Structure 1
Amino acid sequence: MRRLIAGIVATALYGGALAQTLEVRVPDLASTPLPRSVDVGGTTYVDRGLAAAGSLPAGTIDFLGDTLGSFSSLSIEPGTWKREGDTYTGVLWTLPDRGRNDPEHNVFFDYRGRLHRFRFTMTLPSTDGADPGTGTVSFAVDGGRELRDFTGKPFTGAEPAGGLRKEHGIVLPSPEKGIGAGKISLDAESLQFTRDGGFYIGDEYAANVYRFDRQGKLTGIIVPPKAVRPLDVQGRPDFTSLMPPASGRRNNQGVEGMALSPDGTRLFVVLQSALVQDSAPGDASGRTLTRVLVYDVSHSAVPKSPVGHYVVRLPSYDDTGHGGAPNRTAAQSEIRVLDDHRFLMLARDGSGYGADGGRPIVFKSVLLVDTTGASNLAGTLYETGTASVLGEGGVLRADIRALTWKPFINLLDPADLARFGLGIHAGESGKAQISEKWEAMDLVPALDASHPDDWFLLVGNDNDFIAKHCVMDGQRCDSDIDNDNRILVYRLTLPGMRSNTAPHHK
């Protein structure tokens, strides 16, 4: 594929293997009018733009008395999505991460793992999408659910350092003393409900996927293959978030994206960026080759090993936006699966409201990824050992074919954002700059008989608990600004997409 997208999009030939790359050198702003479409395998997918948006104040307090943090992941509870006229309603569950923290200064809290529950309402000026006016979104706090381990203890967001704990024969991160001592450390980043009301949560510390029942009690753990587990040079677990391990997931770069296929049989798990052994030397632009694991959960909710194991190449970008060589990787932040081989993947830069450094926003897009034709590494040394997928010169080995993708939804659409009072640049008159971290997505059907293939994509930000009045575990954690909790809703046409939300239509 060869396209021009605000920089360089190209294909390069490495030893006979076609490797897709995307290098973004100047801000990738949408310049063509909506709707915008992309063709993949003979199917045309359409982005019809923003349908609605809404926010919740950063200082909102949650059901456990802490500042409510948005949204490492979110999901409409299956069976609750309804439409009545021009109004849609549902129960929205959102996932905060490990609480307010500052790893550089070793500041953590004994933040209990939890889900937040909201009453979600969206009202559109035209339910068939004909009116491009501004729909409204509101989400009212409605309690939540505390997460508990096998023994009934709460989880903690505290840094585990070298602390370990074994449950059901599985070694887990757990602080030995001080904050959170004796509890399992959890940095929750991805959420997926199952049809029985239970759910999966993906973690950064151990790169585990935890399976919970509908009450929030831990029932099982998917332990990643050896290639993904954070290990020290002796092959022992190394769960700290303060420095990278010798192999496996990078620190703070764990299971950032996770989703079930619509039929509920396949669980897709994606690491935020390249494993340590797959990172090219030099700056952070060498972290583009991340791993995608696919588990068959039709017979066991916590299978021992994946049936699919792939490599996907993330975009790289110049964080100054001045046209220089890329020096950063656009980290993967969430996925949602369309069928057994295609999924949406949100990749983004680290700039925007709430970020330090004042760098320009360069890239925030949802990519449409396809596993067809890619090399399946399941059961190979790239999975059962710590072999790198890099070949000579720090590029993908010639005998490994990465997943293919095409850009689909560009969040950096100045005209579309402006309709909702949002902007890309800091200080734009009358506009709020969009947040740095967009990390949550979910798909729900439009329930429109005249447009049966239309869906809504909910996209939420992670505000890092940044609030002028912040409370965490009974202590103050105030910031200089309020970074509000925000949700954007895009209307899409996704032919062949099946619903697993058991929707109702009045």
Structure 2
Amino acid sequence: MTNTRARVTPLAYTDAEIATLDLPGGPLSITRGIGSGLARRAGDAPGIFWAIGDRGPNLKIGPAVKLYGLTVVACHTDAEGAKVMPRPDIGPALSELRIDGDTITLLRTLPLRGRSGATLSGLPTPGGANSVSEPAIALDGTILAPDPSGADTEGVAAAPDGGFWVADEYGPSLFRVAADGAVLARWVPSGTEDLFAGADYPVVGALPAIAARRQINRGVEALALSDDGAWLYLAFQSPLAHPDAEAHRMARHVRIWKMDTATGTVVAQYLYPFDPPETFRRDCALGAVDWSDLKVSELVLLAPDRLLILERGSATTKLYAVQLDPAHETSPELLDDATRPTLEQLSADGLIGDLALTKTLILDTDDLPEIDADLEGLIVLSPNTLLLVNDNDFGTEGVQTRFWRVKLAADLPFGQVERERF
């Protein structure tokens, strides 16, 4: 379909089947999840790109009961962030894919592995004072024990040395991963290292302590990396729960960090402003939309300090370009966990002023009804062409992975030198 903004082409892709479980309400088919994040590496062969799935197959309590007759888990309905994990052994994995014409092919999958060689589970990590653990529920209704090595991977950046940076919601944390999927290190918020005691890889408290203030199930969601691997750009999925969940619920801005990959130092912090909830038209047609329903799910680096950002509700997705300039850097003390009022409190009270980044709209899927909901992955194929993917949640609710190639009416706003990257 063609409109004034873009031309959309759905691409052919077939989900890889992993397992089928016989449950009281019928069979549960588990397929490979690859739609949590996408990345390209400048040195890879033409058409090659990478994807990350999340923690593994999981179900919210409602669908587990309604779709699969798992009435034994209904007692956990009111547990915040609770997920049924029917196969916790199927954990985070990277996937290599190739786009050829209108077809995408899965070439190989690399499960993330610890130094013992064992694959990582998708089980939650232990919680602490400022780090709440999401409950993971077994098929028999019991609560699964936390795993200090577990991860809920949501974003990926492909490094020039052949390895990867992977974003995790649980810690929240960053994984440094080798080209074969082996975890080299996990960076966690300073002061939370003891929560990961016994992890199957080195754990380093390299991230600012304030990261542990993430809202439950809303940790680090999106990554982008400079071509030389020196700078990592990180976005939280939602405002932090800092100092409390009310600040998260009312805040209207998300923190973006520019980090030194050698040390983990946050060299600059920025605030990305959400669009008003009422502008997410498809979401509003399904029910009320609050500020806390909005998320950032992907970053792409267009040029030095210039990002393409995927902002979404559930049904509606918007793509915005932003320039990270010094005038919009927050003061260093706003990275300090002890500072009051917090950025989230200032945001909730409408006191951010001109500090928020300026956004340029690139795409709004409310104008493109042929693109589905739950978009989480994005890469740039050429100066005017994007690739989008939905998150199929490992097929647990019957959703298939779908890709869309989107040709824009005009080139993306990046510099002449950087155009050659694509």
Q: One fold, TM greater than 0.5?
A: yes
What's the CA shift for 1:79?
2.9
Tell me which amino acid in the other structure corresponds to 2:406. Answer: Y
1:116 to 80, 83, 95: 95
Corresponding residue number in structure 2 for 1:107 = 84
Please give the alpha-carbon distance, in whole angstroms, between the structure 1 residues aligned to 2:352 and 2:291. 24
The corresponding residue for 1:490 is: 406
Give 1:312 shift. 1.6
| Aligned equivalents of 2:388, 2:326: Cα separation in 1 | 29
Matches within 5 A, 1:128-167: 137-162=102-127
- Specify which of 266, 279, 284 is matched with residue 306 of structure 1: 266
Cα deviation for residue 377 of structure 1 reads 3.5
Task: Confirm whether residue 53 of structure 1 aligns to residue 23 of structure 2.
Answer: no
Matched, 1:395 2:349: yes
Distance in 2 (alpha carbons) for counterparts of 1:308 and 1:246: 14
- Aligned residue for 1:197, secondary structure, equals coil
Q: What amino acid is aligned across from residue 374 of structure 2 in structure 1?
A: K
Q: Name the SS of the counterpart of 1:184 in structure 2.
A: coil
Distance, in Å, in 2 between the alignment partners of 1:326 and 1:158 is: 29
What is the Cα deviation at residue 180 of structure 1? 7.2
| Structure 2 gap ranges (5+) | 20-28, 62-75, 77-82, 137-141, 196-209
1:383 to 312, 322, 336: 336
Are the equivalent residues in 1 in contact too, given 2:240–2:344 (CA < 8 A)? no
- SS of 2:336 mapped into structure 1: helix
Q: Where do 5+ consecutive residues of structure 1 fail to align? A: 1-29, 36-48, 83-89, 123-136, 165-171, 233-244, 352-362, 423-433, 446-453, 468-478
1:73 offset after TM fit, Å? 0.7
The yes-or-no answer on 1:70 pairing with 2:49 is no
Structure 1 pair 283/401, CA: closer, same or farther in 2 (3 Å)? closer
- Higher RCO structure, 1 or 2 (CA under 8 Å, sep 6+): 1
Tell me if structure 1 keeps the 8 A contact 2:59–2:84.
yes
Amino acid of the structure 2 residue aligned with 1:93: W
Cα 1:500–1:174 shift into 2, 3 Å: farther
TM-score (norm 2): 0.73
Q: Would the alpha carbon gap of residues 483 and 390 (structure 1) be closer, same or farther in structure 2, given more than 3 Å must change? A: closer
Identity %: 24
Task: Answer yes or no: is 1:412 the counterpart of 2:366.
Answer: yes
Q: Does the residue aligned with 2:343 lie in a helix, a strand or coil? A: coil
Give the Å deviation of 1:329.
3.9
Once residues 193 and 51 of structure 1 are traced to their aligned partners in structure 2, the CA distance between those partners, rounded to angstroms, is: 26
Q: Which amino acid aligns with 1:145?
A: L
Contact 2:302 2:418 in 1 (8 A): no
Aligned partners of 1:488 and 1:139: how far apart in 2?
10
Equivalent in 254, 257, 275 of residue 290 of structure 1: 254
Hey, what's the Cα distance between the residues in 2 that align with 1:256 and 1:393?
20
Counterpart-to-counterpart distance in 2, 1:230 and 1:395? 33
> Structure 1 residue 267: deviation in Å?
0.8
What is the match of residue 440 of structure 1?
A: 377
Q: CA deviation at 1:187?
A: 0.4
- Mark the CA change 1:322 to 1:349 in structure 2 (over 3 Å): closer, same or farther: closer
- Residue 457 (str. 1) matches residue 386 (str. 2): yes
What TM-score results when the alignment is normalised by the length of structure 1? 0.62
The 2-side partners of 1:254 and 1:56 are apart by 29
User: Which entry has the higher C-alpha Rg, 1 or 2?
Assistant: 1
Q: Which amino acid aligns with 2:377?
A: A
Question: CA separation in 1, counterparts of 2:346 and 2:113?
Answer: 46
Q: Secondary structure at the match of 2:107?
A: strand
Q: Give matches, 1:4-403, under 5 Å.
A: 33-35=3-5, 49-50=6-7, 52-58=9-15, 60-61=16-17, 67-82=31-46, 90-104=47-61, 105=76, 106-108=83-85, 109-122=88-101, 137-162=102-127, 184-224=149-189, 248-277=213-242, 281=246, 284=249, 286-297=250-261, 300=262, 303-318=263-278, 319-321=283-285, 328-351=292-315, 363-377=316-330, 379-385=332-338, 387=340, 388-390=342-344, 394-397=348-351, 401-403=355-357
For residue 380 of structure 1, give the secondary structure of its aligned residue in structure 2.
helix
Q: Output the CA distance in 2 between the equivalents of 1:183 and 1:57.
A: 33
- Native 8 Å contact 1:280 1:395 kept in 2: no
Per-residue deviation, 1:404: 1.6
Q: Secondary structure at the match of 2:335?
A: helix
Deviation at 1:339, TM superposition (A): 2.0
Distance of aligned partners of 1:79 and 1:400 in 2 relative to their CA distance in 1, 3 Å threshold: same
- Contact 1:174–1:185 (Cα < 8 Å) also in 2: no
CA distance in 1, matches of 2:121, 2:147: 9
Greater mean alpha carbon deviation, residues 370-379 or residues 214-223: 370-379
Shift of 1:66: 5.5
CA offset digits 1:74-93 (Å, max 9, x no partner): 224443343xxxxxxx2232
> Alpha-carbon deviations, 1:111-170, whole Å to 9, x = none?
222112223212xxxxxxxxxxxxxx2122222112112443321112335499xxxxxx
Whether contact under 8 Å (2:125, 2:147) holds in the other structure is no
Q: Provide the C-alpha distance between the structure 2 equivalents of 1:412 and 1:399, rounded to a whole number of angstroms.
A: 29
More helix by share: 2
2:91 maps to a residue whose letter is: R
Classify the secondary structure of the residue corresponding to 2:51.
strand
Contact 2:43 2:160 in 1 (8 A): no
Aligned-partner Cα distance in 2 for 1:217–1:380: 36
1:66–1:368 CA distance, 2 compared to 1 (3 A): same
Counterparts in 2 of 1:154 and 1:179: CA distance versus 1, 3 Å: farther
Q: Deviations over 1:294-316 (max 9, x none)?
A: 0123xx1xx23210112222123
- Please report how far the alpha carbon of residue 366 of structure 1 lies from its aligned counterpart in structure 2 after TM superposition: 0.2
Return the alpha-carbon distance in structure 1 between the equivalents of residues 418 and 108 of structure 2. Answer: 26
Q: Alignment length, in residue pairs?
A: 361
- Tell whether the 8 Å contact from 2:320 to 2:362 is kept in structure 1 after alignment: yes
Alignment CA distance shift 1:412-1:195 (3 Å): same
Work out the CA distance in 1 between the residues paired with 2:164 and 2:272: 26
Match of 2:379, as an amino acid? D
